[in-house]
Amino acid sequence: MADPNVPFRVLPQLTDRNRAFWTGGSAGELRFLRCDACGYFVHPPAPVCPHDGGRALTWTAVSGRARVATFTVNHQAWMPGPPLPYVVAIVEIDEQASLRLMTNVVGCAPDAVRIGMPVRVVFEHHPDPEGDVWLPLFQPDAAREG
Amino acid sequence: MGRDFFERRACITGIGQSDVGRRLGRDPLALTLDACLAAIADAGLTTRDIDGLSTYPGLGMGMPPGFTGAGAVDLHDALRLELDWYDSGLETSGQLGSVVKAAMAVATGLATHVLCFRSVWEGSAQGGAGRKGIGAGVPKAVGSMEWSIPFAAASAAVWIAMYAQLHFHRYGTTREQLAWIALNARRNAARNPQAIYRDPMTLDDYLGARIISTPFCLYDCDVPCDGATAVIVSARERAGDLRRAPIGIEAVGTALRGRPSWDQFEDLTQMANRDAARHLWSRTDLKPSDVDVAEIYDGFSYLTMSWLEALGFCPIGESGRFVDGGARIALDGELPLNTHGGQLSAGRLHGYGFLHEACVQLWGEGGARQVPGGPQVAAVAAGGGNTCGCLLLTRA
């Protein structure tokens, strides 16, 4: 039985390249592919480091802390999804400048979201016959406010 | 300029456009044929003369409803064209990438007269139930869409709204300023019988419209429609005895040096247009101040603002102040902008509408919306995010 508190989502098609990202939430981890040699996080995942050309990369958990780089409060029902209005944001992951995710900011009123606001990851679990997915959403990180 | 730029060996010799409307209920291939046959006749050619065909995006898997009204193959077969070169595709420098490729084909001798077209029937295909999201109805998000669709970021409106929001935050841009992209478009559409929305719009109308995705309201979003546009790109050396004085392609801008991404681009107030515009100006001695008329993509209003900055019509961060009040961008202003009404009021012809209008203006055939003084240089720009291209056209 689907959790009535979890909105309908079009889920990502899992592949060998992206599975570790979309299932990291099963272990409570936000993971990115990281170059073994230079430590650069590669996102979206690709089997080469654009920084030093390294071909050895390892899925690595980050802290899950980020800041809102920009956002929008969406009022339009484009398709089935979260209740309106909802916040779509691009967040920048603390561990690396310009390491970004498009996501939703949840756990606060849409009009409370600000550019630069500290947030932390929270996972939304979606059971799926082709393999469960944990979407990384972000909520205000009250401990780091101000 | 000592360098031999290929685009100088190409030119535009004819244009055509079908009827344009919200929901025409006509076969999109018929609309496409209307535009293409009009362009061929406009150039003084026949279908026998057409030896090249180029379109954006052509046919493909997973296109949103009505996104493409005809593929290259449809035109090729319907007109029994005998072609030496044909091409389509989505992965190029925006909608105008198809025109740049045509210019390359004629400059290299691969073709002589290339029929280029863009056809949409999003109005009919989407029906009356409101604009559909990218990914509506698909089982799973694949490719680059896997990073946006799962978060219900199911429209370029949402993505571009985030760029606009950061521009507002960083540069103090306001909705009252952004409004002038829409208000100017509507003001010009009133003079264009082919435009879809021609009733006057006030700043109060704009500010009172329903919000789509902050800071965008309804009038920041272009109008899905049915319609097709075509242009003929010819080899310059073969254009001399055609019906019209050819329009020169002074320079093209196709570069993308930043990351090809909507959310990973270094500066989230800028886009691929930064690189395409820089590329364009590197290929000509002309300067932004030489441009007499600008036809700049407004799929969403902020895209025009971003292009105005990228193309150097105003400094980075200044587009809000540049368009504020609408005088500078009016038909009689220093930079007449989107003189047909843009996609915001004249319909989402997806890039080619701007190219068509630039040619109309350079040929002096704009009628009630003609820019005074005989414009000689037009800038045309289309696309946004990670897919952008631009052209500089000249009367001479």
Residue B182, domain member (yes or no): yes
Whether the pLDDT of residue B222 is over 80: the answer is yes
Q: Which residues span the domain enclosing B85?
A: 6-128+225-238
Instruction: Identify whether residues B345 and B377 lie together within a single domain.
Output: yes
**How far is A104 from B152, CA to CA, in rounded Å?**
8
* Whole-angstrom distance, CA of residue B40 vs CA of residue B393: 20
Q: Which of B134, B135, B151 sits opposite A102 (nearest CB)?
A: B151
B232 and B197, same structural domain? Answer: no
- Give residue ranges of B with CB < 8 Å to any A CB: 130-142, 144, 146-155, 157-159, 161-163, 165-166, 169, 210-216, 262-264, 266, 268
CA distance B300 to chain A (A): 14
Q: Which two tokens stand for residue A55?
A: 């071909």
**Res A146: pLDDT:** 61
pLDDT score at A109: 98
From chain A, the residues in CB contact with B148 under 8 A are 102
Residue A5 pLDDT exceeds 90:
no
Is residue B356 in a domain? yes
Average pLDDT over residues B254-269: 94
pLDDT at B62 over 90: no
Q: Residue B220: pLDDT above 90?
A: yes
Mean predicted confidence (pLDDT) in B180-197: 98
**Facing residues of A100 across strands?**
A92
pLDDT at A116: 98
Contact A9 B155 (CB under 8 A): no
Q: Where is the domain boundary, B212, B238, B264?
A: B238
Based on the domain organization, do B262 and B385 belong to the same domain? Answer: yes
**How many separate domains does chain B show?**
2
Map tokens 């993971």 to a residue.
A31
Q: What is the pLDDT of residues B126-135, one digit of tens each?
A: 887 677 677 7
Has residue B138 been placed in a domain?
Answer: no
Q: pLDDT above 90 covers what percent of chain B?
A: 93
Inter-residue long-range contacts of B281-286, CB under 8 Å, 24+ positions, other chains counted: B281/B251, B281/B253, B281/B311, B281/B312, B283/B3, B283/B5, B283/B7, B283/B250, B283/B251, B283/B252, B283/B253, B284/B1, B284/B5, B284/B250, B284/B251, B284/B392, B285/B1, B286/B250, B286/B251, B286/B377, B286/B392, B286/B394
C-alpha–C-alpha distance, residues A39 and A33, integer Å: 9
- Is B279 in the same domain as B233? no
pLDDT, residue A128, reads: 96
Split at pLDDT 50, 70, 90, the class of A142 is confident
Evaluate if residue B2 carries a pLDDT over 70: no
How is the beta sheet containing A41-42 ordered, strand by strand? A41-42, A30-35, A57-62
C-alpha dihedral sign at B355, B302, A42, B276: positive
Give A2's pLDDT tier (boundaries 50, 70, 90): low
| Whether residue B365 sits in one domain with residue B264 | yes
Instruction: Please check whether residues B110 and B176 belong to one and the same domain.
Output: no
pLDDT (tens digit per residue) in A25-61? 999 999 999 999 999 999 999 999 999 999 999 999 9
**Closest-CA residue in chain B for A42?**
B264
Compute the nearest-CA separation of B117 from chain A (Å).
29
Q: Is the pLDDT of residue B54 over 70?
A: yes
Specify the residue for token string 């344009």: B20
Is there a domain that residue B141 lies in? no
Q: Are residues B119 and B186 in the same domain?
A: no
Q: Is A86 on the interface with B (CB under 8 A)?
A: yes
Question: B122 and B164: one domain?
Answer: no
Subunit contact B142:A12, Cβ cutoff 8 A: yes
In this prediction, residues A95-103 reach a mean pLDDT of 96
CATH number of the CATH domain containing B37: 3.40.47.10
User: Tell me: the pLDDT tens digits for B78-125?
Assistant: 999 999 999 999 999 999 999 999 999 999 999 999 999 999 999 999
The β-bridge partners of B384 are: B387
User: What pairing do the DSSP bridges indicate for beta strands B387-394 and B377-384?
Assistant: antiparallel
Q: Is the peptide bond before A85 cis (omega within 30 degrees of 0)?
A: yes
**Prior bond of A127 cis (ω within 30°):** no
Token pair in block for residue B26: 């006509």
Same domain for B150 and B79: no
Q: B195, B212, B238: which is the final residue of a domain? A: B238
Does B48 lie in the same domain as B195?
no
With an 8 Å Cβ cutoff, is A102 touching chain B? Answer: yes
What three-state secondary structure class fits B77? Answer: helix
B140 occurs within a structural domain: no
What does DSSP assign to residue A24?
Answer: G
Any chain B CB within 8 A of the CB of A78?
yes
Query: Are B104 and B165 within one domain?
Result: no
Residue A112: Cβ-neighbour burial (10 angstroms; 0-12, 13-18, 19+): exposed
Partners of residue B228 on adjacent β-strands: B119
Residue B212 neighbours by CB distance under 10 Å: 23
Angle in degrees, 0-180, between the axes of helices B301-310 and B175-189, rounded to the nearest 10: 100
A75 touches chain B (CB under 8 A): yes
Query: Best interface-test mutation with B: which of A8, A15, A70 has the largest number of B CBs within 10 A?
Result: A70
pLDDT over threshold 60, residue B209: yes
- CA trace torsion B360, B366, B372, B377 (10° rounding): -10
Answer yes or no: is pLDDT of A1 > 70: no
- Closest chain A C-alpha to B156 CA, distance in angstroms: 11
pLDDT of A110 over the 60 cut: yes
Q: Is the pLDDT of residue B139 over 60?
A: yes
pLDDT tens, residue by residue, B13-26 = 999 999 999 999 99
Whether residue B346 has pLDDT greater than 80: yes
Does B151 sit within 8 Å of A104, measured CB to CB?
yes
For residues B337 and B1, the model is more confident at: B337
Q: Are residues B179 and B312 in the same domain?
A: yes
pTM above 0.90, yes or no: yes
For residue A143, what pLDDT is reported? 86
Residue B136 lies in a domain: no
Q: A122-132 pLDDT, tens per residue?
A: 999 999 999 99
**pLDDT confidence of residue B138:** 80
Give the number of other CB atoms < 10 A from CB of residue B80: 8
Q: With 80 as the cut, is the pLDDT of residue B300 above it?
A: yes
Phi, psi of B84 (to 5 degrees): -95, -15
pLDDT band at A145 (very low <50, low <70, confident <90, very high): confident
**Cβ–Cβ under 8 Å, residues A131 and A84:** no
Do the domain assignments include residue B14? yes
